[in-house]
């Protein structure tokens, strides 16, 4: 039973297939699988706009159903163990997507689930976002293999998924963050052949074909927001910084964005911005991902 808790759960060739399929489904939505009588369960412990709408729309467009619940309005909020929840829900639905704080909770759910489990964002990883980012790059610039990507800002869940993506999709990744905000040391060490760490945004973006950032305080870190404004003040991505990248460099942001903080308003609003394509591609990649995972037989 394959789950999708991180990009490492699927062979790189299958990730490529999902991205190619997403591009095909975007061009011709009628090609999508018929998921009549299939149900996707969504368990969200954190806020979401794109991820939830993309999953629910994907299921609706494939004639399946989705059931959304927050931790608070389920028995999880009253202390029912995640293992029991997994056993019960996975006897009813065909796939489950979970957005949570603690990544270990996803692993515990998956270990007791009869059906595929998707990480819809945890504190550590956001693999669904990367499928959309890769689709967006491929659509605008062709293959990402051999390219250089610069990540500017917090070494957060999206950044950590970029580290996994660098290996899976064969690109170089330069991570530029203030001291104390690096991604996990083990992850960096494991991917040391293609991932580097630096402190100077201008040097990190030089000749990069893709520049990426994300909020300075992720969900769950709200209390640190004010302090982080100061720490990250030299790490804003704007048109001036981007002008030091490769001539046709793309800028991406998973959204929601904080204008005037990690990204300037003018960069986000530029005519040539691909961030809206990137957001739309959440739908196409998540549709392709559901198709892929549902092709498996449920565990006995
Ligand atoms: N990028 C992303 O995951 O957005 P949401 O938090 O709105 O789902
Ligand atoms: N790093 C952000 C991503 C939101 C989609 C967060 O975890 O809040």
- pLDDT tens digits, 252-298: 999 999 999 999 999 999 999 999 999 999 999 999 999 999 998 76
- Whether residues 111 and 39 share a domain: the answer is yes
Q: Is the pLDDT of residue 299 over 90?
A: no
- pLDDT value, residue 48: 98
CB of 157 closer than 6 angstroms to any ligand 2 atom? yes
Nearest bound ligand to the CA of residue 254: 1
- pLDDT value, residue 298: 67
Q: For residues 281 and 254, is the Cβ–Cβ distance under 8 A?
A: no
> Which pair of tokens denotes residue 111?
């270990």
Q: Is the pLDDT of residue 12 over 80?
A: yes
- Whether residues 16 and 30 share a domain: the answer is yes
Mean pLDDT of 133-154: 98
Q: In what order do the strands lie in the sheet with 210-213?
A: 195-198, 172-176, 148-152, 210-213, 250-253
- Whether residues 174 and 155 share a domain: the answer is yes
Mean pLDDT of 148-174: 98
Residue 138 lies in a domain: yes
Residue 72 lies in a domain: yes
Give me the domain span that covers residue 84.
7-126+281-294
pLDDT tens profile 13-50: 999 999 999 999 999 999 999 999 999 999 999 999 99
- Residue 129 falls in the annotated catalytic set: yes
pLDDT tens profile 188-222: 999 999 999 999 999 999 999 999 999 999 999 99
**Given pLDDT bands bounded at 50, 70 and 90, which one contains residue 148?**
very high
- pLDDT value, residue 297: 72
Report residues whose beta carbon is within 6 angstroms of any ligand 1 atom. 48-51, 121, 129, 254-255
d(CA 178, CA 118): 31
Q: Which of 95, 129, 174, 191 is catalytic?
A: 129
- Whether residues 221 and 251 share a domain: the answer is yes
Residue 299 lies in a domain: no
Nearest bound ligand to the CA of residue 125: 2
Choose the residue to mutate in 70, 213, 256, 286 for probing ligand 1, maximizing ligand atoms within 8 Å of C-beta.
256
- Whether residues 225 and 172 share a domain: the answer is yes
- Residue 254 falls in the annotated catalytic set: yes
CB of 156 closer than 6 angstroms to any ligand 2 atom? yes
Residue 108 lies in a domain: yes
Residue 2 lies in a domain: no
- Whether residues 145 and 230 share a domain: the answer is yes
- Whether residues 20 and 76 share a domain: the answer is yes
- Whether residues 18 and 62 share a domain: the answer is yes
Residue 140 lies in a domain: yes
Q: Which of 99, 174, 191, 228 is catalytic?
A: 99
For residue 117, what is the domain's CATH number?
3.40.50.1370
How many angstroms is it from 106 CA to the middle of ligand 2?
17
What residue owns the CA closest to ligand 2's atom 6? 218
CA distances from 236 to 81, 129, 242 (A): 42, 21, 10
- Whether residues 108 and 149 share a domain: the answer is no
Going by C-alpha positions, the residue among 125, 126, 143 that lies closest to residue 134 is: 143
Choose the residue to mutate in 128, 156, 213 for probing ligand 2, maximizing ligand atoms within 8 Å of C-beta.
156
Q: Which ligand 1 atom is the nearest neighbour of the CA of 255?
A: 1
- Residue 126 falls in the annotated catalytic set: yes
Q: Is the pLDDT of residue 300 over 80?
A: no
Mean pLDDT of 39-66: 98
- Whether residues 163 and 118 share a domain: the answer is no
Residue 228 C-beta-side C-alpha neighbours within 13 Å: 20
Going by C-alpha positions, the residue among 295, 299, 281 that lies closest to residue 38 is: 295
- pLDDT value, residue 296: 85
Nearest bound ligand to the CA of residue 119: 1
Going by C-alpha positions, the residue among 103, 19, 24 that lies closest to residue 286 is: 19
What residue owns the CA closest to ligand 2's atom 3? 218
- Residue 284 falls in the annotated catalytic set: no
Residue 95 lies in a domain: yes
Mean pLDDT of 58-77: 96
d(CA 229, CA 154): 11
Choose the residue to mutate in 99, 215, 224, 258 for probing ligand 2, maximizing ligand atoms within 8 Å of C-beta.
215
- Whether residues 21 and 139 share a domain: the answer is no
- Whether residues 211 and 235 share a domain: the answer is yes
Is the peptide bond between 256 and the residue preceding it cis, with omega within 30 degrees of 0?
yes
Q: Please tell me the pTM assigned to this model.
A: 0.98
Q: Which residue has the higher pLDDT, 227 or 298?
A: 227
Residue 172 lies in a domain: yes
Task: Tell me how many domains the chain contains.
Answer: 2
What residue owns the CA closest to ligand 1's atom 6? 48
- pLDDT value, residue 284: 98
**Given pLDDT bands bounded at 50, 70 and 90, which one contains residue 63?**
very high
Q: Which ligand 2 atom is the nearest neighbour of the CA of 221?
A: 8
């Amino acid at each position: 039973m394959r789950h999708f808790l991180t990009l490492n759960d699927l062979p790189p060739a299958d990730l490529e297939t999902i991205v190619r399929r997403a591009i095909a489904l975007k061009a011709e939505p009628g090609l999508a699988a018929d998921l009549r009588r299939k149900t996707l369960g969504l368990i969200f412990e954190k806020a979401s706009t794109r991820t939830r709408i993309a999953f629910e729309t994907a299921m609706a467009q494939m004639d399946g159903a989705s059931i959304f619940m927050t931790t608070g309005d389920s028995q999880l909020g009253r202390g029912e163990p995640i293992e029991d929840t997994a056993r019960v829900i996975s006897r009813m639905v065909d796939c489950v997507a979970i957005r949570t704080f603690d990544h270990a909770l996803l692993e515990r759910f998956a270990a007791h689930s009869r059906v595929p489990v998707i990480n819809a964002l945890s504190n550590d990883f956001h693999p669904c976002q990367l499928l959309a980012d890769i689709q967006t790059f491929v659509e605008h610039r062709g293959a990402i293999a051999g390219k250089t990507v610069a990540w500017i800002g917090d070494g957060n869940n999206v950044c950590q998924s970029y580290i996994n993506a660098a290996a899976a999709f064969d690109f170089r990744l330069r991570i530029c963050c203030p001291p104390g905000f690096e991604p996990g040391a083990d992850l960096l060490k494991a991917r040391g052949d293609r991932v580097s760490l630096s402190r100077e945004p201008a040097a990190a973006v030089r000749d990069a074909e893709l520049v990426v950032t994300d909020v300075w305080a992720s969900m769950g870190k709200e209390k640190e927001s004010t302090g982080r404004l100061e720490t990250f003040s030299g790490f804003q991505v704007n048109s001036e910084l981007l002008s030091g990248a490769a001539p046709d460099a793309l800028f991406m942001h998973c959204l929601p964005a904080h204008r005037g903080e990690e990204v300037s308003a003018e960069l986000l609003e530029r005519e040539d911005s691909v961030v809206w394509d990137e957001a739309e591609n959440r739908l196409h990649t998540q549709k392709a991902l559901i198709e892929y995972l549902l092709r498996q037989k449920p565990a006995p």
